[in-house]
Amino acid sequence: MDIDWIGLAGPTASGKTAAALAIAARRPVEIVSVDSALVYRGMDIGTAKPTPAERAAAPHHLIDILDPSEAYSAARFVADATRLVGEIRARGALPLLVGGTMLYFKALIDGLDAMPTADPALRAALEAEAAARGWPAMHAELARHDPVTAARLAPHDAQRIQRALEVWRLTGRPLSSFHGARALKAAPRHRLVTLEPTERGWLHARIAERFDAMLAGGLVDEVRALRARGDLHADLPSMRCVGYRQAWQALDALPDRDAPLPAAALAALREQGIAATRQLAKRQITWLRSMPAREAVPCDAPDALAQVLERIA
């Protein structure tokens, strides 16, 4: 059967970029990023953005398309990805969708029902409630109304908890019910290959190694430069990305904004960043396991790359 696109999904640090480039070396593909952080310009180190050399190996899309002051959504991703798939196929290449933002994959495959637009007054009310009660209490309230969404959100994920409660209060419907609705007439023809660890310890070691590389590569300085712009704040979706949020908080604690991070603060940032990345990976794996049509490859197997290439071939 002819297909519209091939997807390569997996948790953070599972080897998606290397696998995608190996595929690109063997087939005429164009890579479409399925990542809610790679869309932002100026956020290179903490997102593990493909290097210029890697991006030169195959055309890449949906990277560096937004300023960090802007927001991106699943609905916008579906529109952008659908357009790109058509354009890439028209050029005679295969669209290869690669990333770890599982909501985007699910939205593209299953469709999204029309959700209500943001309500500024309700959002302000929710923020006031959260200031008084704390986001864990708001998360507990969400769990009573929408346990499916609450189960995949961390208790301090203010942005997503707020949106889920906003949808519930506006419509009386859980956010998860919108994600399950098929707004498209037919699901796109696709294959979804996933990289999933059989041993969590393998992935945890990779996560720690990669976060250490980000710190050595200048993550703190990257966040410091973003803060210096003056128009960004910690509650923006871009600054809530794993690594950026923890670095922002560490810099907030400095008495002198230009001072280097003390060794103890840097160690705490490392511990918090690795822990948050592990939590992200756990949520990503939970999402993956809810996708019954996926073709799972153990990313910690010695022949993982060969298995991916065999399936794509």
11 is in an annotated binding site: yes
> Which residues is 191 bridged to in the sheet?
6
* Number of neighbouring beta carbons within 10 Å of residue 4: 18
8 A C-beta contact, residue 68 and residue 236: yes
177 is in an annotated binding site: no
10 is in an annotated binding site: yes
15 is in an annotated binding site: yes
17 is in an annotated binding site: yes
Q: State how far Cα 146 lies from the chain centre.
A: 21
- Residue where the block lists tokens 């002051």: 69
12 is in an annotated binding site: yes
Q: What is the CA radius of gyration of the chain?
A: 20
155-182 core/surface letters (b: 16 or more CB in 10 A; e: else): bebbebbbbbbbbbeeeebbbbbbbeee
Residues within the annotated binding site? 10-17
Residues within the annotated binding site for substrate? 12-17
Residues within the annotated binding site for ATP? 10-17
